[in-house]
Amino acid sequence: MNLVINEKSYSVNAPEELKLVWVLREVLHLTGTKFGCGIGACGACTVHIDGKAVRSCQLPLGAVGGKITTIEGLPEDHPVKRAWIRHQVPQCGYCQPGQIMQAAALLSAHPHPEVDEIVASMNGNLCRCGTYPRILRAIREVAEAAT
């Protein structure tokens, strides 16, 4: 199967039922995408497909259609990444790639969300360290700065 990931083409020889998270991590060694719960409930495995946030642990390789962006493909100077650093969001950091990808998709689709919209969008991304207030502040900063 041919995939476009982070604007690069890959030819992947793997079973069609293999979940995208494992293709990314084990086949292509793009380990920024994390495996969390395996049931799509924690958000650690969030990637973008054509700009939309998707739980890669739920998506079989054979069902992938569109351009994939992982945390490695989000530019280092992306406003969400910069805000994450400014607000010192990560604690252990495990969930942060998924959090960042979810926030980036939200802000791309809706540059000026209200607080309740941010909370609703981020609701499926869990953080065991409880950095939710910092996550909210970082997203709000990016939204306020958007033109």
Q: How confident is the model at residue 89 (pLDDT cuts 50, 70, 90)?
A: very high
Does pTM surpass 0.85? yes
Beta strands 46-49 and 52-55 are antiparallel
10-21, pLDDT tens digit by residue?
A: 999 999 999 999
pLDDT digits (tens, 9 = 90+) for 57-79: 999 999 999 999 999 999 999 99
Q: Is pLDDT above 90 for 109?
A: yes
- SS3 for the chain is CEEEECCEEEECCCCCCCEHHHHHHHHCCCCCCCCCCCCCCCCCCEEEECCEEEECCCCEHHHCCCCEECHHHCCCCCHHHHHHHHCCCCCCCCCHHHHHHHHHHHHHHCCCCCHHHHHHHHCCCCCCCCCHHHHHHHHHHHHHHCC
**pLDDT value of residue 147:** 72
Crossing angle of the two packed helices 132-145 and 79-86, in degrees rounded to 10: 130
Stretch 45-62: mean pLDDT = 98
In whole angstroms, what separates CA 125 from the centre of its chain?
10
Domains and CATH numbers, the chain: 2-73 (3.10.20.30), 79-146 (1.10.150.120)
